[in-house]
Amino acid sequence: MALSGNLENDWYFSRPGVNPDGTLSTATLNAFAVGGGLKADWTPNNVVYLVIKANVARTFANDPSVALWSGAVSAGIEYSF
């Protein structure tokens, strides 16, 4: 099992942010994201692995259309040579 985390900050040079009332801001868009994930695997023979991953992130921004939650879940099989 593995846990992961990430931080990301995006600064835009020419795209303006949007105020809560929908008008364009005088400040450029700034988006900050924080998230984490979990990966777990199981193997019956150290060759074939069953893997499941889950990630979640939250983006904070000075534009309501960019500030959002995101998530993903995936499962698969890995083969070790």
In angstroms, the Cα distances linking 32 to 14, 27, 52 are 17, 15, 27
Which tens digit of pLDDT belongs to each residue from 11-27?
A: 999 899 988 888 898 89
Q: Is residue 59 pLDDT above 90, yes or no?
A: yes
Task: Please tell me which residue, 81 or 57, carries the higher pLDDT value.
Answer: 57
pTM of the model: 0.76
Domain that holds residue 34: 2-79
Task: Please tell me which residue, 74 or 22, carries the higher pLDDT value.
Answer: 74
Which residues fall within 8 angstroms of residue 12, CB to CB, at 6 or more apart?
A: 28, 29, 30, 31
Q: What CATH number should be reported for the domain holding residue 41? A: 2.20.200
Which tens digit of pLDDT belongs to each residue from 27-51?
A: 999 999 999 999 999 999 999 999 9
The count of domains in the chain is 1
3-state DSSP call for residue 24? strand
| The residue type at 79 | Y
